[in-house]
Structure 1
């Protein structure tokens, strides 16, 4: 098992981080002040509302925590500040490349347009890059429970915003009641624009088919993908197609994707050659950091060494929604830095 001090030295990549689930306590209080919302809560009470309990009943209970912060994220100023805050936290976590996803349709209560919401987030990420050793990009996320009419307003965002920080598209939310097949037309519109796609799939029991459908609909990455463990006949496809799984141990247990460590498929899939990666999902909601996620994996699998953590970061770089030149630069940088790490 690696020491936390060793893990802290590791440069990291994070592909799966939700903006509204990852705000720091200080940021939440600043956002409330800016929005002229009197929370009238102690720090402990704020965190109680923003963090999911260790033993949530299911994914929907976990997702309910987002309702607390969304009223604070309805202005350009606050969205810019929130994006900066999450990227700042990531940089302190020794993350060198991160993709932060958010659903712009949830931030329009004060008359922002979809494009303005995206521009605010992009501006915050760009500002963070100026102040920290990090590359931070954004993903537009649609919510499955929204109407198709609302969701179909998202692909044109990529026509109107020409910024290198806007790099891909995602669908999140209740995948059990809104399976992937319902969104084939929407995803065809995204594919037609040559936009990179990652889709939440296989996060809940009995959702295996969503993984297969996601890949068939153009996704090169799968958000979570836990239930790929139940698709032995499809695992070879995941390997041959180099599909990246964005796994998040703390979140995966909280949402009841799995309930026992022996059922968690991370190491099994890694040993097979599936391109698994580690992510926080929601720093605040899950009360975690990427450092903590690495420490969990090191504790659960004591033989998972420095070279294995390096490998999953190279998998993440391969899956990142950036061009080949940027990927090669990151691969070189990570290879060089991991050579210098000793336990």
Structure 2
């Protein structure tokens, strides 16, 4: 459906929060609550770089622009230090889904790498089961639909990616909906992990890959042509290769765009320099996501608001992008169609309800 928003309807954070949304690119270990990290550290006797929420926020560069993607990833050392038990993983997943549901995210894909949660002897299966149980409980309480994407890590050896791919295949139809390649992009080419993705594709599992964030369009090309990625995480530098950009557009390969994160990691110098609007205007299927709710200090509502305020997307543009999120979900076709019908109807009702509200008129001084 092509959305035509009421012309006089102002874009507000309240309206954007009321609309149904997706978050397709959201890292579990980057989306915890500060208070939870402090409480888990106290329970587990883990030393943190700070013992207050404000101090911890500064220590993990929360919301700050970092020198590079690698500098940004240092914050995960803090969150991962308290995510080495089944209870902690359950709690983090549950709270993430509850927080997302509170801003009307109706469909959430949570990604993480089980290989990073084994320092205290957990089995990879226990890691998966704990997260899935947390998401299941959150769904029962809030109605939010959730799925897990297992991440291979670029800078860990390809053999580990294969083990994680085997795990993803085993948990297909049991909560795991996809496979990803994350981690430091420069000097760690996607093609080194091709074998793991071949296993994924042979078993008809969905896959995505971080690409074109800290490295050029060649990284995106490898993700598509070597790994067979169905979606691209970030894709910020796709604009540098017009031929590849047209390929992505022609084949309707969705981009999982995370605007504020891209500024924080240095992938773009500022929001107004972000290629999101160009991609959207050109016709690419783009989605707007958080990446890391904690470390980036964001929400889907905030990302949509900034896309309007700083990048120049209209309400009509934003509703189209919201629907693209549901179209791009790693869901079975029939389930996706049912969800899209519900979402389209809800967007119509929400816009109509806000249009009927009396507008605030500024009184003269």
- Give CA deviations for 1:48-107 in whole Å, capped at 9, x if unaligned: 223445221110100100001111111111111111011111111210001000010010
Could you tell me which residue of structure 1 aligns to residue 281 of structure 2? 271
Paired with 1:339 and 1:2, the residues of 2 have a C-alpha distance of 15
Q: How does 1:61-140 map to 2 (within 5 A)?
A: 61-140=71-150
C-alpha distance in structure 1 between counterparts of 2:57 and 2:216, whole Å? 31
For residues 80 and 53 of structure 1, the distance between their equivalents in structure 2, rounded to whole angstroms, comes to: 25
Aligned to 1:229: 239
Partner of 2:46: 37
Name which of 296, 319, 333 aligns with 2:342.
Answer: 333
| In 2: Cα distance, 1:337 partner to 1:180 partner | 39
Partner of 1:23: 32
Contact 1:70 1:106 in 2 (8 A): yes
2:156 is matched with 146
Deviates more, 1:215-224 or 1:151-160: 151-160
Mark the runs of 5 or more structure 2 residues left unpaired by the alignment: 1-9, 356-365
Indicate the SS of the match to 1:121: helix
Q: Which has the larger radius of gyration?
A: 2
Distance (whole Å) between structure 2 residues aligned to residue 294 and residue 285 of structure 1: 18
CA distance in 1, matches of 2:276, 2:45: 44
SS of residue in 2 equivalent to 1:152: helix
Alignment partners' CA distance in 2, 1:323 and 1:33 = 42
CA 1:213/1:24 → structure 2, altered by over 3 Å: closer, same or farther? same
**Distance verdict in 2 for CA 1:55–1:301, change over 3 Å:** closer
Measured after TM superposition, the shift of residue 301 of structure 1 is: 4.0
Give, in angstroms, the shift of residue 163 of structure 1: 4.3
Correspondence for 2:300 among 284, 290, 293: 290
Q: Which secondary structure state, in structure 2, belongs to the residue aligned with residue 153 of structure 1?
A: helix
- Please give the per-residue CA displacement for 1:155-194, whole angstroms capped at 9, x wherever unaligned: 1113433544210000111111101122222211221221
* Cα drift, residue 36 of structure 1: 3.5
**Is the 8 Å Cα contact of residues 50 and 284 (structure 1) preserved in structure 2?**
no
8 A contact 1:115–1:161 mirrored in 2: no
Q: 1:215-263: per-residue Cα shift (whole Å, max 9, x none)?
A: 1221111000001111211222112211010011110001111103443
Alpha carbons of structure 1 residues 159 and 26: separation in structure 2 relative to 1, 3 Å: same
Partner of residue 6 from structure 1, selected from 1, 6, 15: 15
In the alignment, does 2:213 pair up with 1:203?
Answer: yes
Q: Tell me the C-alpha RMSD between the 2 structures.
A: 1.7
Deviation at 1:135, TM superposition (A): 0.5
CA shift in 2, pair 1:30/1:132, >3 Å: farther
